[in-house]
Amino acid sequence: MSLKVTSLTTKDNCLYMNNERHILISSAAFAELRKDLINNIGLERMKGFLLRYGWELGQKDAQKIKNESNLNIREMVFLGPMLHTKKGHTYVDGVQVEIDEKNGNVFKQMSGTWHYSYEAEEHIKLFGVADYEVCFTLVGYASGYISKLFDELIIFKETTCKGKGDDVCRWIGKPVAAWGEQAADFLNYYKERPIILELEETYDKLLHERNNLAKTAEVQKRLTEEIIKGNDLHTISEVVEDILDVPLLIEDQYLRTIAYSTSLTVDKEEIKTCFKQYVEDNYPKSKSCLNEITRTMNNTKLFTLKNHKRLMTPFYLQGKIYGYCSLILDKEDKCSEVLETIIERISSVCSLYLLNEKAKFETLERMKGKFLEELINDDYTDKTEIIQRGNYLQLNLENPYYIAVIHYTFFSESISDEFDFHQNIMEEVTDFCQKEKINTLIGQRTNVNSIDLLISIEEENGRSIDDIIQRIMTHLKKTYVRSKFSAGISERSEDIAGAADLFQQAKAAVRLAKFQENITSFESIGIVGSLINENNIDTVLKSAENELKPLYQHNKVTCEETLKTLYYFLINGGNLEQTALDLSLSVSGLRYRIRRIEDKLKKDLRDSVENYQLLLSLQSLILTGRLEWV
């Protein structure tokens, strides 16, 4: 290897290397240039600038070596690190080179170590330890030098760097094809791009973003205006389509259609079927149903389905997912970021609309509840005023009506949970009646865990009061499986002025219903109800208490157990097995209790006359609320 290649000489007091004039610049001065570049053009552009600067240095040195030396390819390769060291950039050590000389000097790989890299040292002085490799000119020089020697693009990369806290700078070089997908991360840095071009691209991006922002703002503005005007979700879907030229589909949490754009070409049921099929294909092992999977989707997602794309996002009501907004795109359409932003704005507007509707609905229901409270308290003396108030609340009180009382239980030690339960169950009943189009006034007495309903019956719809209450009870039992429900129904009346009396009937009926968690009508109570409605109620109650007096002569707990045993025995017609089952007792234990009751009452419970008298007495006390243990 000729030393002439790396000789340093002076001429006219100037420094020359290989007959090319050089200047000496301190590494600190170069570091200041590096700092100014970062401050003025940014880190990414500075990185590209220094890589290309190093590349040019390496290319020129390699070209000079190829032109002026008689070295073979391997010798020229090793001369590169020597030149790098000679110029003071770094000290190169541990160089390993793989060249396939048998097949025409094909470059395979090169690796080694840089010690005392001026770039690493100065970067740490100015900026501290980095979280990325910092020897840009060294990497650029190696890449440019070896690429020129082999006339192909060969890229070098640091694997460790002292500038980011490693013990030494290690590097490796490979042909660009050998880097695979990693090549894309650093190839762009070697392409010189005029800053004016970047400014033009930045301007185009800013203009595009401005247009997107303007479109988003227009959607938000127009939808908000529709909400202020009091328009519904159908109008909102039409406004969205008018602006975006994309149909909108709005569904509830069960994927039932609420509103949609009129130009929606894909059938709504087909959209739901396609989405269901997508879920089944992509969640084959999931035990969750479609609704449970969608309820876990709390952000915007794009679904590519059979014949369309669906950009879908949830909307919320008081922190819970209430439904979904979907933009229905053609299969070929691209989903831009602006569409994702816009559909999230649409979601917010839907939430605002629902919150507004909920506030109006709750205000109306509170008015209905207050009106019902006034009716059952008999606060009105003028029937005409009652009917007029009903008309204001869109309820025809000239129709026949019933009053029902639904009693519920809730098991929790938390006061806050109990408060939420009262509120939730009231909302559940209200929503159910609204969906089923049941004309009703609804009130609630949380102190006794009861929902009160005045139900106006329209003869033409063919629904009976028993069917209506049964449907409500079935719904509640499915929704609140840990709770217990019972209901009492008053007699039918056409005189709204008598609502207070019917309320008392429903209260009496529900006291009996609570025993077996069923539905009891006042009419089914029979003669007991008629007796209690008479003016001689005090006489009836006194007679009932005298009849059962011997059972009261013990402590409260024993008294409750004894009276409950007697009641179930009587209503079961003396059937020991059924009574034992209802009371969770053994048959032998029940026989013992019955014998003790007979001894105290001095009555034979096999005597039907005696039994009837006792049952009437118990029912009288229950219906009037004298027996509080029920």
Kindly list the strands in the beta sheet with 8-11, ordered across the sheet, starting from the edge strand earlier in the chain: 8-11, 14-17, 20-22
Stretch 102-110: mean pLDDT: 89
User: pLDDT, tens digit, for every residue of 402-453?
Assistant: 999 999 887 665 556 777 888 888 888 988 988 888 888 888 888 888 999 9
Residues 6+ apart with CB under 8 A from 602: 550
The share of the chain scoring above pLDDT 90, in percent, equals 14
Who has greater pLDDT, 292 or 66?
A: 66
Which of 185-199, 259-273, 363-377 is predicted most confidently?
363-377
Nearest in space to 117 (alpha carbons), one of 30, 199, 204, 187: 30
Residue 535 amino acid letter: N
The set of long-range contacts for 227-233, using a CB threshold of 8 Å and a minimum separation of 24, is 227/349, 227/352, 227/353, 227/356, 232/259, 232/353, 233/258, 233/259, 233/350, 233/353
Over range 567-572, report the average pLDDT.
Answer: 80
What is the full DSSP assignment across 72-88? -HHHHHHHHHHHHHHTT
Alpha carbons within 13 A on the beta-carbon side of 10:
4
The position carrying tokens 């269901």 is 276
Please name every residue paired with 198 in a beta bridge, in sequence order, or none if there are none. Answer: none
* Strand locations in 300-430 (E): 301-304, 308-317, 320-330, 401-408
Structure confidence by residue, pLDDT tens digits, 455-489: 988 755 667 888 999 999 999 988 888 888 989 89
pLDDT at 196 over 50: yes
Question: What are φ and ψ of residue 431, in 5° steps?
Answer: -65, -40
Which of 26-30, 60-64, 128-132 is predicted least confidently?
Answer: 26-30
b/e 253-265 (16+ beta carbons within 10 angstroms → b): bebeebbbbeebe
Say if pTM beats, i.e. exceeds, 0.75.
Answer: no
Continuous segment of H or E residues that includes residue 582: helix 576-583
d(CA 2, CA 24): 24
Please enumerate in sequence order all residues whose Cβ is within 8 A of that of 464, keeping only pairs 6 or more positions apart, or say none.
none
Reported confidence tier of residue 454, pLDDT bands at 50, 70, 90: very high
- The per-residue pLDDT for 67 is 85
Task: Count the Cβ atoms, other than its own, within 10 Å of residue 211.
Answer: 11
Task: Pick 3-192's CATH classification: 3.30.1380.20, 3.30.700.30, 2.30.40.10, 3.40.50.2300.
Answer: 3.30.1380.20
Sign of CA dihedral 272, 278, 280, 286: negative
Q: What are 212-253's pLDDT values in tens digits?
A: 777 788 888 888 888 888 888 888 888 888 888 888 888 887
Question: Distance (Å, rounded) from C-alpha 521 to C-alpha 507?
Answer: 10
Q: What is the mean pLDDT of residues 256-271?
A: 79
- Check residue 297 and give its pLDDT: 66
Closest CA to 44 of 106, 126, 112, 136: 136
pLDDT value at 202 more than 80: no
pLDDT in the model for residue 66: 87
Is 52:190 a contact under the CB 8 Å cutoff? yes
β-bridge partners, 17: 8, 20
The proportion of the chain whose per-residue pLDDT surpasses 70, expressed as a percent, equals 81
Topology, domain 537-623: Arc Repressor Mutant, subunit A (1.10.10)
Region 358-372: what's the mean pLDDT?
81
Secondary structure of residue 452 in the 3-state scheme = strand
Beta strands in 285-376 (DSSP E): 301-304, 308-317, 320-330
Contact 138, 89 (CB under 8 A): yes
- Residues whose CB is less than 8 angstroms from the CB of residue 390 and which lie 6 or more positions away in sequence, other chains included: 371, 396, 397, 496
**Contact call for residues 433 and 472 (beta carbons, < 8 A):** yes
Note the pLDDT of residue 43.
76
Q: Which DSSP state fits 12?
A: T
Query: How much is the pLDDT for 188?
Result: 75
Pairing of strands 401-408, 450-456: antiparallel
**493/249 Cα distance (integer angstroms):** 46
| 169 bridge partner residues | 114
Answer whether CATH 3.30.70.270 is correct for domain 377-525.
yes
Q: Residue range 527-551: average pLDDT? A: 62
Instruction: Tell me the CATH architecture of domain 204-358.
Output: 2-Layer Sandwich (3.30)
Distances from the Cα of 219 to the Cα of 212, 224, 262, 414, angstroms: 11, 8, 18, 45
Kindly give, in sequence order, each residue whose CB lies less than 8 Å from that of residue 128, ignoring residues fewer than 6 positions away.
none
Looking at residue 2, its pLDDT comes to: 42
For the chain, the domains span 3-192, 204-358, 377-525, 537-623
Mean pLDDT check: name the lowest of 102-106, 158-162, 475-479, 601-605: 601-605
Give the pLDDT confidence score for residue 1 in this predicted structure: 41
Per residue in 144-186, pLDDT (tens digit) is: 999 999 999 999 999 999 999 999 999 999 998 898 888 777 7
Check residues 207 and 161 and name the one with the higher pLDDT.
Answer: 161
Please report, as a single letter, which amino acid is at residue 60: K
Residue with tokens 């890299």: 117
Cα within 13 Å of Cα(164), Cβ side: 12
268-308, pLDDT tens digit by residue? Answer: 777 877 887 777 777 655 544 555 555 556 788 888 887 78
Contacts of 507 (CB under 8 A, 6+ apart): 405, 488, 625
The residues, any chain, with a CB within 8 Å of residue 591's CB and separated by 6 or more, are: 576
Angle, helix 576-583 to helix 587-601, in steps of 10 degrees:
100
Query: Considering only CA atoms, which of 558, 563, 564, 531 is closest in space to residue 547?
Result: 563
